[in-house]
């Protein structure tokens, strides 16, 4: 997605050759105009698959997921990472290990909002090692829901996340694919 790549080049900063900071429009300050375009692009890429629900994970997945949900006219569920006062039982849960942060997080979704009748699109802001995606896929499987696709805003193609999704024969679309960070510059995957 050209518009997104331009924003990454203009406003992104590379940290330590492995992390892209995009706090101007995605991870801290959010640009709703860009998010709307991202939502439209996800809706286009996953059209005609009978998708009736979107699942993401708090917090940075919520903005792109909600704009896709708005465009597709379907609800968005976000998996919670922290224990909730009001969300205590009847949960699907999975453990997500972050290689970056070296911590495990329990993620949870209420059984009320996910079932075997659902055809789910999984959306997230970043795909790195794929552990968040794998956790969300696990939760969908526990519910018996069909996973219709995975939509990612920014994929770091040099990490193993994409392979983990493809391995399960799930359709994956990433709006920006980063091949490498060379001399602190972003190099995109050639189309
Ligand atoms: P994984 O799920 O793909 O295995 O990712 P990993 O453990 O490596 O990443 C942990 C957190 O860091 C995730 O956010 C993920 O979205 C984010 N992340 C990974 N690589 C990058 C990157 O290059 N740039 C940025 N900005 N973020 C990256 P999180 O902890 O779930 O936080 P949030 O959703 O609340 O922001
Ligand atoms: Na995320
Ligand atoms: Na994040």
pLDDT tens-place string over residues 95-152:
999 888 899 999 999 999 999 999 999 999 999 999 999 999 999 999 999 999 999 9
The CB of 56 under 6 Å from ligand 1? The reply is: no
pLDDT tens-place string over residues 114-129:
999 999 999 999 999 9
Spell out the CATH class of 2-188: alpha beta
What's the CA gap between 32 and 14, in Å, rounded?
23
Average pLDDT of 163-172? 97
- Total Cβ atoms within 10 A of residue 130: 24
The CB of 44 under 6 Å from ligand 1? The reply is: no
Cα-based angle 6, 123, 95 (whole degrees, multiple of 5): 125
Terminal Cα distance for the chain, rounded: 11
Q: What is the interface pTM, i.e. ipTM, of the complex?
A: 0.91
Q: Looking at ligand 1, which atom is closest to the CA of residue 60?
A: 34
Query: Could you tell me the pLDDT band of residue 17, with boundaries at 50, 70 and 90?
Result: confident
Note whether 133 and 110 are within 8 A (CB): no
Q: What is the pTM of this model?
A: 0.96
The CB of 148 under 6 Å from ligand 1? The reply is: no
pLDDT tens-place string over residues 50-64:
999 999 999 999 999
CA-closest residue to ligand 1 atom 28: 126
What's the CA gap between 131 and 127, in Å, rounded?
9
Cα-based angle 191, 172, 107 (whole degrees, multiple of 5): 135
Supply the Cα-derived Rg of the chain in whole angstroms. Answer: 16
């Amino acid at each position: 997605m050209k518009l997104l790549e331009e924003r990454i080049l203009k406003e992104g900063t590379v940290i330590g050759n492995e992390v892209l900071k995009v706090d101007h429009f995605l991870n801290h300050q959010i640009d709703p105009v860009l998010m709307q375009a991202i939502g439209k692009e996800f809706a286009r890429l996953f059209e005609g698959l009978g998708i009736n629900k979107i699942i993401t994970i708090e917090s940075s997945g919520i903005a792109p997921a909600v704009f896709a949900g708005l465009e597709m006219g379907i609800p968005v569920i976000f998996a919670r990472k922290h224990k909730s006062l009001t969300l205590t039982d009847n949960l699907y849960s999975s453990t997500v290990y972050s290689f970056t942060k070296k911590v495990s997080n329990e993620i949870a979704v209420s059984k009320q909002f996910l079932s075997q009748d659902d055809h789910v699109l999984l959306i997230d802001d970043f795909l790195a090692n794929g552990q968040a995606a794998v956790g969300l896929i696990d939760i969908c499987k526990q519910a018996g829901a069909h996973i219709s696709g995975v939509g990612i805003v920014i994929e770091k193609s040099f990490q193993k996340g994409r392979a983990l999704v493809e391995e399960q024969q799930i359709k994956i679309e990433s709006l920006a694919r980063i091949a490498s960070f060379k001399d602190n510059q972003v190099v995109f995957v050639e189309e």
